[in-house]
Amino acid sequence: MKKKVIVVGAGISGLTAGIYAQLSGFDAVIFESHTIPGGASTSWKRKGYTFEGGMHWLTGSSVKTPLNKLWREVGALDDSVSIYNRDPFFSYEYKGQTAYVYRDIDKLKNHFLSISPEDKTEIIRLCKDIKKFTKISMPVMDIKGVKVEEKARMPLSSIISMLPALRRMSFYKGQRADEYTDRFKSPVLKNLIKNIIGDESNATGIVFTIATLASGDGGYPEGGSLAMAARMAKRFEALGGKIEYGKAVSKVAVKDNKAYGVIVNGEIIPSDSVIVTQDTLVAIDKLFDNPIEEPWANRMRERIKPMLSTFISLGVEADLSDMPEMLTFSVDEPLLCAGIANYNIGFYNYADYKGYAPEGCTSITSAIMGDTYDFWKSCKENGTYKEEKQKLAETFISILSKKYPQIAGKVVVWDVATPLTYERYLHSYKGSWMSIMDDSSSMQAYPSKPESIQNVYFAGQRLVNPGGLPVALDTGRRAVQYLCRDTDMVFMGNKEI
């Protein structure tokens, strides 16, 4: 008789865990509080407009990367899914001057030099490092001691090719993005580079991101977040797995330091093991009668810096294909969000994305970064929540309409998702969807299983800073490898890939 596994959450890590559990001979059931799969990797519709609220690019979208095989194993990608590689990938406008991030490194270097010859030394050094970092890709590894159908190996040649980049890692690792960009004299280049990942993030994110793009990776799969999650859910169910939607797990049932199921709506659902893919930072405190107090859990509580945003979406009754696809621009009069002044406003323009808006219309989204959780929570409590959301949307529309007059009077629907929105749907810490990787937390990783409770495994983006879809995929796979090792089962991939 197959051993039963309950997976908490049908996000990318939960779906991944469920798929590999089924492939490896377990009977997996996923409990998901929402009515759809995907977790933070999601999109939503308002009056015929689709707003992409999760993925904007996918590491592992290129067939040249080790991750691509895993995305195909779990059904996220296949030959029928078109990959769109936006180029230029990112642009920043400052006082009438625009700088771009191109995927071609030589083109990028020449473009930067044309903007700021006085930054020649830093530009050349950065572009040389980008070329070195293109040799680094997220490895696919097996945990020690697990029996596997097919071993995941990294060729020696790949390890050797990464050495030049590894030697440069310490230079970026010890500084934040804003500290690194202070080396540049040009304000437009300075702001372009740091706005790729944000001021507070570790500078390694800059060179890694551009290198990923330069290597031909980092594309956007057709249909985006929700379509990818739907493909994974379909793969899981085709393997015999079951997803219970609209059912939130309130507790992991534990007796004598062993998990024996979960509690849903007051009912104990028994299982042989439990894989928790809900935000680990929340789960270690709220999913167990006694919060987990192991050293790694306490370290997570102390060190995790959540990445939050207030997400604005617009449905515009106009074809905006003449506007940039992705642009951040500086403003003299800041956009106030929760009392925080934003002098840089960014947006994604989906005019060229089929099916994202009615014919001749356009969907636009914008993420206003910053920890505004307490502000929105107080608004909720004092009854001004809707009013403040409307005020923010109207101010954003006004700023965007001044820059692009073709938008003025054409916005037929707006939507604002605050950290409270994400908290409600994801049950994540303060509604965060990633972690900030600064110079004190870079490459921080946490274990997939606690020592104090048997039959429990963790997966999800919180386990490795800064998180994201590749981490969700990898930790979902890793959790099942630990499960296989503990139960003397053989970890199986998909033979059809």
Confidence of residue 120 (pLDDT cuts 50, 70, 90): very high
Least confident range from 123-127, 195-199, 295-299, 375-379: namely 195-199
Q: Average pLDDT in the 57-65 region?
A: 94
Q: How many beta carbons lie within 10 A of that of residue 420, not counting itself?
A: 18
pLDDT over 90 at 259, yes or no: yes
How confident is the model over 225-249, as a mean pLDDT? 97
Instruction: Using alpha carbons only, give the angle 31, 33, 38 rounded to the nearest 5 degrees.
Output: 85
In the predicted model, is pLDDT for residue 56 greater than 60? yes
Q: pLDDT per residue over 6-40, tens digit each?
A: 999 999 999 999 999 999 999 999 999 999 999 99
How does pLDDT run across 291-308, given as a tens digit for each residue?
999 999 999 999 999 999
pLDDT band with cut points at 50, 70 and 90 for residue 442 = low
Domains and CATH numbers, the chain: 4-42+62-79+221-305+437-491 (3.50.50.60), 101-138+151-215 (no CATH), 309-429 (no CATH)
Q: What is the pLDDT of residue 198?
A: 81
Which tokens hold the place of 11?
């996000």
pLDDT tier, 144 (very low <50, low <70, confident <90, very high otherwise): very high
The pLDDT value given to residue 156: 82
User: Is the pLDDT reported for residue 441 higher than 50?
Assistant: no
pLDDT at 440: 53
Packing angle, helices 204-214 and 120-133, rounded to 10:
60
Confirm if 255 and 65 have CB atoms less than 8 A apart: no
pLDDT at 88: 95
* Kind of pairing between the strands at 273-276 and 456-458: parallel
* pLDDT mean across residues, the chain: 94
| Nearest-angstrom CA–CA distance, 11 and 426 | 9
Contacts within 8 Å (CB) and 24+ apart, 45-48: 46/313, 46/315, 46/413, 46/415, 47/315, 47/412, 47/413, 48/315, 48/357, 48/358, 48/361
In the predicted model, what is the mean pLDDT of residues 51-77? 95
The answer on pLDDT for 497 being more than 60 is no
Hey, which residues does 347 pair with through a beta bridge?
Answer: 327
**Phi, psi (degrees; rounded to nearest 5) at 30:** -105, 130
| pLDDT(43) > 60 | yes
Confidence of residue 325 (pLDDT cuts 50, 70, 90): very high
Q: In the numeric block, which tokens belong to residue 302?
A: 């102390």
pLDDT of residue 397: 98
> What pLDDT is stored for residue 75 in this prediction?
97
pLDDT digits (tens, 9 = 90+) for 412-423: 999 999 999 999
- How confident is the model at residue 1, as a pLDDT? 85
- pLDDT, tens digit (0-9, with 9 covering 90-100), for 360-403: 999 999 999 999 999 999 999 999 999 999 999 999 999 999 99
CA–CA dist 240, 3 (Å, integer): 14
Q: What is the pLDDT of residue 411?
A: 98
Of 195-199, 246-250, 306-310, the one with minimum mean pLDDT is: 195-199
3-state secondary structure of 154: coil
